[in-house]
Amino acid sequence: MTQPSVLDQKILDQKILDQNIRELQEWLRNAWQQLADPSLTAFSRRELRNQMRQCHADLRVQLQAASKQMLSQPAGTGKTFARPELRILA
């Protein structure tokens, strides 16, 4: 069994990072909707806001990590096409 290459590991890390960011954003979106619920007690609202602050801090860390990862990647990571060697066959 072969081990994944460094490039494969970076792609996997990027996918995990993107998934974490999406999950945190979705959680915050749902928390805002819950916060609008008039049946919440003052204590529940306070606890939810505390959890939202923590989630926001976690999201910020994940976004900074994604930003660092994007900056560390070279700009020309895509495929480059070289001029083909042409020969005239007679």
Number of domains the chain contains? 1
Q: Answer yes or no: is 82 within a domain.
A: no
**What is the structure's pLDDT at 74?**
62
pLDDT higher for 74 or 32? 32
pLDDT higher for 50 or 71? 50
Q: Answer yes or no: is 80 within a domain.
A: no
Q: Answer yes or no: is 85 within a domain.
A: no
62-77 pLDDT per residue, tens: 999 989 888 876 655 5
What is the spatial distance between Cα 90 and Cα 80, in angstroms, rounded to a whole number? 31
**What is the structure's pLDDT at 57?**
96
Range of the domain at 62: 6-72
Tokens read off for 81: 């096409």
Query: What residues contact residue 69 under an 8 Å CB cut-off, 6+ apart?
Result: 10, 13, 14, 17
Q: Answer yes or no: is 21 within a domain.
A: yes
The torsion angles phi and psi of 87, rounded to 5 degrees, stand at -130, 140
Q: Answer yes or no: is 37 within a domain.
A: yes
8-31 pLDDT per residue, tens: 777 788 889 999 999 999 999 999
Q: Answer yes or no: is 77 within a domain.
A: no
